[in-house]
């Protein structure tokens, strides 16, 4: 009969001494090598074959999805024209084609910009939120709260991270002033703390699941964590 980890609920065998997901000790013993609060330092697992394969798979899936969206406006307008009779087929093709072209431009821009981004190391120097203004509707403008993080790289360059109200605010909740971190643009969760003992959690770089700091592998997808 399996027993369950009191920390994360993962089912394990009766003979298991440590949770395979979060590293919780069932007998009060020290965690084995690879499990536990990691010492300060950036992880060498950024080049782990399992992680690299997952990143490649995610990027391919995102690219395929983006390009699948491209012909949808043309198809939609043609169907609307045929079903309603309120629009000529030529007009439907023209309008749908313009919108599809915009979708294609955005898809290509996203692909190119993602490849152009580079990893960097920096230290958080400032965090602040402020109100900006978005689209204007009538006499009023939409008010949007932005959450801005400023960081300095070892060579003195300034890096800005801006997240907006309504987004997950990943960096805002994860990084604090004084934190040394690495930015990994190819990962779904892009921030790695140098001192992970102070981290609220370690997020899976592929699925983004929040794992206990003592964990060794993601409790959802099983990928190695950056430790």
Please identify, among 67, 85, 117, the residue that sits at the C-terminal boundary of a domain: 117
Q: What is the pLDDT of residue 2?
A: 61
Residue 221 lies in a domain: no
72 Cβ neighbours under 8 A, 6+ residues apart: 100, 103
Co-location of 126 and 186 in the same domain: yes
Sites in the chain below the pLDDT cut of 70: 1-10, 14-36, 111, 113-116, 134-136
Q: What range does the domain containing 136 cover?
A: 118-211
Q: What is the pLDDT of residue 215?
A: 85
Co-location of 131 and 204 in the same domain: yes
Co-location of 132 and 82 in the same domain: no
Residue 110 lies in a domain: yes
Please identify, among 86, 117, 148, the residue that sits at the C-terminal boundary of a domain: 117
Distance (Å, whole) CA 183 – CA 157: 14
Distance (Å, whole) CA 122 – CA 192: 11
Residue 219 lies in a domain: no
Distance (Å, whole) CA 152 – CA 82: 57
Residue 146 lies in a domain: yes
Residue 224 lies in a domain: no
pLDDT tens digits, residue range 12-66? 776 666 666 556 666 654 444 445 677 889 999 999 999 999 988 877 877 777 7
Q: What is the pLDDT of residue 160?
A: 96
Residue 40 lies in a domain: yes
Co-location of 11 and 83 in the same domain: yes
Co-location of 42 and 85 in the same domain: yes
Whether the pTM exceeds 0.75: the reply is no
Please identify, among 84, 117, 150, the residue that sits at the C-terminal boundary of a domain: 117
Distance (Å, whole) CA 162 – CA 175: 12
Q: What is the pLDDT of residue 30?
A: 45
Distance (Å, whole) CA 202 – CA 179: 15
Domain count, the chain: 2
Co-location of 4 and 100 in the same domain: yes
Residue 53 lies in a domain: yes
CATH number at residue 136: 2.40.50
């Amino acid at each position: 009969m399996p027993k369950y980890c009191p920390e994360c609920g993962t089912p394990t065998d009766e003979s298991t001494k440590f949770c395979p997901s979060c590293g919780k000790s069932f007998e009060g013993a020290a965690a084995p090598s690879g499990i536990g609060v990691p010492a300060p330092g950036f992880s060498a697992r950024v080049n782990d074959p399992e992680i690299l394969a997952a990143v490649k798979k995610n990027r391919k899936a995102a690219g395929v999805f983006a390009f699948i969206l491209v012909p949808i406006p043309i198809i939609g307008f043609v169907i609307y024209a045929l079903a309603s009779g309120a629009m000529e087929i030529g007009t439907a093709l023209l309008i749908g084609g313009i919108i599809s072209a915009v979708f294609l431009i955005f898809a290509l821009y996203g692909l190119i910009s993602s490849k152009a981004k580079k990893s960097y190391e920096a230290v958080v120097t400032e965090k602040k939120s402020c109100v900006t203004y978005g689209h204007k509707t009538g006499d009023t403008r939409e008010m949007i709260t932005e959450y801005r993080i400023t960081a300095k790289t070892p060579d003195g360059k300034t890096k800005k991270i801006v997240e907006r109200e309504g987004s997950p605010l990943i960096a805002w909740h994860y990084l604090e002033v004084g934190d040394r971190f690495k930015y990994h643009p190819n990962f779904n969760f892009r921030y790695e703390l140098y001192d992970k003992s102070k981290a609220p959690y370690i997020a899976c770089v592929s699925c983004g699941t929040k794992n206990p700091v003592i964990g060794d592998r993601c409790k959802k997808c099983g990928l190695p964590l950056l430790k």
